[in-house]
Every structure is written in C-alpha cells, then in structure tokens.
Amino acid sequence: MQLVPQISDRVSEQLLTICCRNTAKSVIPLTLSILFTFFLLHEKVEAMQLQLWALLSCTIVLARVVLLRQISEASSLDHPAKRIWATLLTLLLGVGIASVLLFFNSVDLFERAMLTAIMLGLCTASYSINIGYPPLLIAFIGPPLGTLSALWAINSGQDINTLFALVVSICIPILSVTLIRNGKFMFDVFSLAIESSTKLEEQSQRLSEALHHAEDAKSAAETSSQSKTRFIAAASHDLRQPVHVLNLFSGALKNAPLDERTRDIVDSMNIAVTSLSSQLNSLLDISELDSGSVKPNIKSVDLCKLAQTLMGEMNKLAEDKHLELINEVPAALYVMTDAAMLAQIIRNLCGNAIKYTHEGSVRLQATTHDANVILSIVDTGIGIEIGDSDKVFEEFYQVSNHTRDKAKGLGLGLSIVERLVNTLDHKLSLDSQVGKGTSVSIELRRCDSNAESLALDTEFDFSQGTASLPHGFWVHLVDDEKAVQSSVKAYLETFGAKVTISESSAEAIEFLSANQPDALLVDLRLQDGDSGLAVVDSVEDRPLPVAVVTGESISGSNLACNYPDLLMLQKPVSNEALLELLNYMLTDSKKRRPEAQEQ
C-alpha cells in the first residue's frame, strides 16, 4: 500500500479539515483514557516510568492538535506532503499510546484484559475521526493492535490457558482487518461524494452561466431564446446524469457510520442535492415544453381516478402542515386530455397551494358546464395582490419571496402549468383575495367513457413511507457510465443488496441468459449507438421486473406507447425514489412468480 494514495486536492483538503476538527474534539477522550490507564497501573508498575509514559502521551495528543492545524494551513506544502506529515503525527500518537504495553508482562490478568479493552476501544473509535483514510487509520491502530496480538501470542508467564491466549491473539488482527475495510469503504464513499459534488458544482456553474447568457439574448431577439431552449433540451441527458449520481452517493454516505458533525454536513448536502434536483427538473421541463419536443397523447381520462391518485400523493405534504386536503371530484367524470400532463398540472397547483396555505384546507373540485368540466384547486392561503395576478405564471416569480430564497425553489412551477395548459389547449383562470385564498381553474372538454381510461395506469406512484430491501436482493444494472455504476452500487449495498453490472446490451443479454436477478434497471442510451431497449426486448417473456432509468426525455418519446407496461423513471432519481421503485418491483416479482410465494 502506498504511504499516500492518489486522491484529488479537493478530497485531500476536506479530509484534512475534518481531521483537524475531529482531532481537537478527541483530546478530552484520549486524555481521560490515558489517565484511566495511569490509575489502573499506578500500583502495579514502576511509578516513574508510568508517569513518564502518561506525560509523554498527553504531550503528543496536544502537540498533534496544534501541528496538524499548522500543517493543514501551510501554503508551502502540497497536499501529498500534508497527508504524509499528518500520517507521521498519527503514527507518533499510535506508538505513544501503544508504549504503555511495555508494562503488559508486569501486571496481572485483570490489568492485561483492561489494557486490551482500552486499546480496542480507542482503535475502534479512531476510524470515524479520520473518515477511514487508510494511511491515518493504519498509522494509529497498527502499533497498539500489532503489539497486543504479539503479547497475547507469547503469553508470558502463562497466566491463562495457552489456547485461549492464542485465540485472543488471532482475533485482534481479524478486528484490525475489519476496521481497515470498514474505514476504506467510508473513505471511498466520502471521496466519491466530494468528487461528484465538485463536478456538479462545475456543471451547475456552466449551466448558470448559460442561462444568464440566454436571458440576455432573449431580451435581444426571440430567435436567441429559441436556440437556448433547444440547446438545453438536447443537453438534458448530460445535465441530469451528474445530479442523479450525486443523489445516490449522498444516500450512500448518509447510511455510513459518521460522527455527529459529519452527519450534519451530510444532511445539509442531501437537502441541497434535493433542491438542486428539483430545480434542474423544472428548468429542463421548461426547455422541453418551449422547444416543442413534448407532444400530448390525448385520450379519455377518468378524472375521479386521477384525482384520487394525486390526492394520495399530496396527503403527506398537507398533513405535515396540518392542512385538510379535500377531494370533491365526482365519480364517472371523463375528460379529453393527456393523463400525465394533467397530473403534472394538478401536482404543481396543489403543491403551490399547500406551500402558501398555513391553516385551513386545499380543495380539488370539479363542476360541469354544458360540454366542459371546470377543475378547480381552491385554498385558504395568503392570497395574491391584484397587481400580481398576471405575474404568478411568469418564470422565476414567487409570491412572498422577494429576497429570492432558493430554499423555496426557482418559481417555475406555475410557469410549467401555463405551458402545459397551452400545450393541451385547455383554458386557465385565477381568482384570488389577499388573506382569504386563491382558486385556480382549468377548463377541459368533457367526454364519455368510450375508451379505457389511461389515468396514471402506466405511471409508477411513489408512496411516502419508508422503504427497505431484503438482504441479498439482487439488482442487475445496465449502464455504461462509471459514475452511475459506482453510485448505484454504493447506495444499494448499504441496504445489503447485491449489485451486478453490464455496460452494453450484448453483455447484459449474455449475462441474463445464465442468471436470474430479482430486478433489472436499464439505461436507454448506451455507448456507440447501443440501446437498453434491446435488453428489455430480450426479457419480454421472462418473469423479471424491468425498469428504465434514463436521462433521456420520456415525455417527448414514443416509449409509453410502444412499451405501455414498462416502468420508467427520468434522471435525476432521488435515492428514496429508487428504493421505492425496487420495492415495487419486488412486489411485482412475487406476483409474477407464484412459486416464490409458496416458498
């Protein structure tokens, strides 16, 4: 193993920052451990030597805190040199702590057992201090655990059974290897998360600059605005991919054993990633609608069934704000529309109503007028000023967010609603009073149930519950992106799942001919013009749950028509949504395989 493994400067910087902070926090526990050991041995060994050990160990603990901070801030040292010095300081501490074992053969069995317990406890706690970075971890645990193992193997004085001492001697290296492997996993996930975050920041910066230039160009000429939207729509896959990867890496990191401060950082990162994912989806939805690539699939839709499904999705959001969510859409009411687009309209309007309603209710109502149906979302929220009624459907406009708080989103939800309504050729109206509430109405064309309703029949509905996977659940991933492979594997393995990978359709088909995983996740666009649909077609007659997870535009393609029963998700997919999808596929797998239920 190299003394300083190759890692990026960004990862190295974050590692040293966290080590400095955690090292300072560990001063008190380490000092108390040294004092406890001192009082444990003070009547058993030569006092002067024991005092010298305690003084030397405490000095090393304090000096390491000061020197590690100076090394971290030193501009004259490059990152590899800083990590070398940090490793040497940690090695010095490990040797200092382990030097108390010089008294091991001079004390009774009780003291030997207590010394063993103290050393094991300190070493077990150490890997969270340095985020599992292998050189630092080995430098600290190597001297005490290596010495302990040797001393138990020698069993000087034959105080206990030789076989028992030998077993203890063997168990200590096993524990050491376990600590190192767990630490390496923690550091790998930490490193991947930092690298993905860096790439995401770079792409976000480029996207921000592109959008800024696009806004300037829009004021100059309409043709420039159209070019911008076409560009973003074409780049949709490449923009969604890094956010999808970061979602999964942050989920894996959240499930890793972390100290309190690091967990706070991870939780904050998850919130930021969720917000970025939502905002990116809104931006790309806008661009797809403006570019004209989204074509509605007009069919007869059961409005009551659609409303019931969507109210179930929104119920948890309303409950969190102690609001009453009421569905007043009558049964057997059919309209001509695109089910998926209308569902997105209702989600955006209900979500917006819940966001700006602090007490009372949000109602979904439907009334008939001749050949039309008026669908209304009525809330008892803060209302809108008369002068602002024409602005709420503009891009980036938000009621009561004049300070542009990004935690409240970008203000694109209602802008998407207006574009979808125009695409469907429906009519949109708004009525609001400040302090009393708002009513947003959509006029749709009524029809008879002369065709089977397609209201969300082919869409996957994520529940609001907490999902998990059975240990050993086998997922086979077909994706050519290394970052996606690593993130899916890192996240799902935290739940005990087994993940295997193919990078091409041919490789996947050959693998599946001899294997039967529990679920199959397929990307659409693979290398060299290859398509994941070849894999989907190859398992069409097998009882194998399949889902497409892609960065391509689903709404603008013929996938739903050509594969009506295929589960489809568009990147970026949150880690919770991926887990819910796999749970759904697990249930579907049991339905497809009656023999599995019998077992």
Indicate which CATH number applies to the domain containing 337: 3.30.565.10
Tens digit of pLDDT for each residue in 413-461?
467 777 778 778 888 888 888 888 888 888 998 887 654 444 443 344 4
**37-74 tens-digit pLDDT:** 999 998 888 889 999 999 999 999 999 999 999 998 88
Q: How many CB atoms lie within 10 A of CB 12?
A: 21
Residue 207 within any structural domain of the chain: no
Q: What is the pLDDT of residue 447?
A: 87
With vertex at residue 206, the alpha carbon angle to CA 201 and CA 209, rounded to the nearest 5 degrees, is 125
Judgement on whether residues 16 and 109 belong to the same structural domain of the protein: yes
SS (H, E, C) 257-295: CCCHHHHHHHHHHHHHHHHHHHHHHHHHHHHHHHHCCCC
Q: Are 18 and 159 contained in the same domain?
A: yes
- Shared domain for 287 and 329, answered yes or no, is no
Rounded-to-integer distance, Cα 31 and Cα 58, Å? 6
The lowest-confidence range among 84-98, 216-230, 494-508, 510-524 is 216-230
Q: Are strands 437-447 and 334-337 parallel, antiparallel or unpaired?
A: antiparallel
pLDDT confidence of residue 294? 56
Q: How far apart are CA 357 and CA 324, in angstroms?
A: 10
Whether residues 513 and 587 share a domain: the answer is: yes
Find tokens 């939207």 and name the residue. Answer: 229
pLDDT at 286 over 70: no
**Which of 231, 260, 291 is the endpoint of a domain?**
291
Number of structural domains, the chain? 4
Q: CB–CB of 317/468 below 8 Å? A: no
Q: In the predicted model, is pLDDT for residue 279 greater than 60?
A: no
Q: How far apart are the first and last CA of the chain?
A: 46
Q: Is residue 466 in a domain?
A: no
* Better pLDDT: 534 or 268: 534
Out of 130, 159, 191, pick the residue that ends a domain: 191
Residue 468 maps to a domain: no
Same domain, 325 and 426: yes
Cβ-Cβ contacts under 8 Å for 79 (sequence gap 6 or more): 9, 12, 13
User: Is 58 within a domain?
Assistant: yes
Same domain, 186 and 318: no
Would you state the structure tokens that stand for residue 472, as one six-digit string? 């050993």
Q: Is residue 46 part of a domain?
A: yes
pLDDT band at 596 (very low <50, low <70, confident <90, very high): very low
> Does residue 463 form part of some domain?
no
Alpha helices in 425-528 (DSSP H): 482-493, 505-512
Q: Quick one: tokens of 593? A: 């395989």
Residues 304, 287 share a domain: no
Split at pLDDT 50, 70, 90, the class of 483 is: confident
Mean pLDDT for 145-153 is: 90
570: CATH: 3.40.50.2300
Q: Are residues 332 and 437 in the same domain?
A: yes
* pLDDT at residue 159, as a whole number: 64
Q: Could you tell me if 361 and 271 lie in one domain?
A: no
Of 240, 271, 291, the domain-final residue: 291
- Note down the domain range covering 534: 474-598
Residue 409 has pLDDT above 50, yes or no: no
Compute the average pLDDT of residues 140-164. Answer: 83
Name 369's bridge partners. 372
Q: Is residue 462 part of a domain?
A: no
Is the pLDDT reported for residue 262 higher than 70? yes
> CA-CA distance, 168 to 511, in Å (whole number)?
44
Residue 502 is predicted with a pLDDT of 92
Torsion of CA 50, 52, 57, 62, to 10 degrees: 140
Q: Is residue 453 part of a domain?
A: no
The residue among 41 and 211 whose pLDDT is bigger is: 41
Task: Please indicate, yes or no, whether residues 67 and 185 belong to a single structural domain of this protein.
Answer: yes
Would the pLDDT of 218 be above 70? no
**Percent of the chain residues past pLDDT 90, beyond the cut:** 19
Residues 263 and 382 in one domain: no
Q: Looking at the structure, do residues 320 and 227 belong to the same domain, yes or no?
A: no
* Average pLDDT estimate for 163-184: 88
69-93 mean pLDDT:
90
Structure confidence at residue 228 (pLDDT)? 53
| Domain of residue 267, CATH code | 1.10.287
pLDDT in tens, 320-342: 888 998 999 998 889 988 777 78
